[in-house]
Amino acid sequence: MNKPNIILINCDDLGYGDLGCYGSKLHSTPHIDRLAAEGMHFTDFYMPAPVCSPSRGGMLTGCYPPRIGFGWFDNRWVLLPGHPVGLNPEEITIAKLLQEAGYETKLVGKWHCGDQAPFLPTEHGFDSYYGLPYSNDMGMQTPPKNFDAPPLPLMRDTEVIQQQPDQAGLTERYVEEAVRFLRHPRENPFFLYFAHMYVHTPLFVPPALQKRSRNGKYGAAVECIDWAAGAILHELERLGLAENTLVIFTSDNGSGRPESNAPLRGKKGTTWEGGMRLPCIMRWPKRIKPGSECDAVTSSMDFYPTLAALGGAHVPDDRIIDGHDIRPLMFGESTESPYNAFFYYMCNRLEGVRHGKWKLHVGKKFGSEYRDIRELYDLESDIGEQHNLYDGEPVVVEDLSVLLNNCRRDIGDEAEGVRGINVRPVGRVANPAPLTRHDPVYPYLVAEYDLADARV
């Protein structure tokens, strides 16, 4: 079979329970539900971090974030405007692998792996880029955040083309850019990474969607994501590309609203299931069985070797890759997870491990304090992590503790003061500068984003 076209749709802060096909009664998501009905949805799919920069870096490189120096960013959870660090130019992203295998590659939307010149998307395998280099709250806003944010830059490739764009219309502009890319005449296959702004706050949404939302601006943002999926799917069909296009839909981490992650416990920024277990849907007509479900433990790190194999690319053998080729799961040839253990990192702290149905927690942050905890859950019977079985399962605890110790030696654990033996450095530049600075004569369309009013 010819190499497939690939579209990866990655949302921002969308929770496990925010979609109709994952149980939402508040949000109407007919296009995404159709995607699931025509393909496979994964029930036990994880991102490698509960916040965006490490999650995205891990997904693009197929590695746990601390392995690539992406667990902690000079005392910040995520990258900020003008940060001196970013995705090391020595890292080889899935976009770079596919580009080298003859794919035309495009990123539309949020990047958040570094805004300095060596870290931008066009330096990491994307032929072209259109979008925001970091989160949509990292522009001038009132009330101010705990850093002095410059005007939010909208970029094309390496150039800032607008500052402080009106976010209510930005998703529509993203879809227009994606459709233009799909219509571009080509002989080679393409890889489109469509990285949504929604549902990260501030939530500025199209008025028409807000009027019919049953869940305020948040619900309107979810339904705008669904509209965008519908527009892209329609264009694929119109162009005759749907049959040989693999479409993947997921989210970078859990929602900041615990109710959006139901029935999971926790939220964004935590290693409870609600912070890292996400929706994942894959559709590829004639290759993935319609209406199928996969309950094996999988991860966005698996996109790296899987997409490389589908695209005829060579996975580098000079470095450790943590993801697995999950084609057997996608194509119904196996039901077994490739993971003997999946590890839960928050920044550079190893907080838990999953082995089969068992999940062991060993640490959490409570307010400003980090504490050791001892909690064990059977995720098959207790998806909400409500019944601690630690005291009654000493053999299971011992086995999982061995897995944790092996991981500490390999990747590290700041909580235990252990530096891993197989970690690579983050990228770093001297004399960093933000992409924009406030200019009193610039004709800003939006002077400030009002974060407080946009949460409704």
Q: What is the CATH number of the domain that holds 424?
A: 3.30.1120.10
DSSP SS3 for 10:
strand
Task: Give CA separation, 161 vs 158, 174, 246, 334, in Å.
Answer: 9, 14, 31, 47
Q: 238 and 116 in one domain?
A: yes
Q: 142 and 125 in one domain?
A: yes
Q: 207 and 114 in one domain?
A: yes
Q: How far is it between the farthest Cα atoms of the chain?
A: 67
Q: 83 and 35 in one domain?
A: yes
The domain that holds 212 is classified in CATH as: 3.40.720.10
Q: Which of 32, 19, 15, 63 has its CA nearest to residue 249?
A: 32
* pLDDT for residue 145: 72
Active-site positions read: 52, 112
**Spatial distance between the Cα atoms of 450 and 335, rounded to a whole number of angstroms:** 47
* pLDDT for residue 366: 81
Q: 299 and 376 in one domain?
A: no
How does pLDDT run across 292-334, given as a tens digit for each residue? 999 999 999 999 999 999 999 999 999 999 999 999 999 999 9
Range of the domain at 367: 342-428
Which single residue is written with the structure tokens 């979810």? Answer: 222
Q: 106 and 123 in one domain?
A: yes
Q: 82 and 30 in one domain?
A: yes
Q: 231 and 119 in one domain?
A: yes
* pLDDT for residue 286: 86
For helices 216-238 and 30-37, the axis angle rounded to 10 degrees is 50
What is the DSSP secondary-structure string of 291-325? Answer: TEEE-S-EEGGGHHHHHHHHTTPPPPSSS------
Q: 316 and 359 in one domain?
A: no
Q: 379 and 305 in one domain?
A: no
**Spatial distance between the Cα atoms of 421 and 411, rounded to a whole number of angstroms:** 6
Tell me how far apart the terminal alpha carbons of the chain are, to the nearest angstrom. 48
Q: 321 and 175 in one domain?
A: yes
**Spatial distance between the Cα atoms of 301 and 296, rounded to a whole number of angstroms:** 14
Q: 304 and 163 in one domain?
A: yes
**Spatial distance between the Cα atoms of 148 and 166, rounded to a whole number of angstroms:** 20
Q: Provide the 10 A C-beta neighbour count for residue 188.
A: 10
Q: How many domains does the chain have?
A: 2
Question: Which parts of the chain register pLDDT below 50?
Answer: none
* pLDDT for residue 454: 65
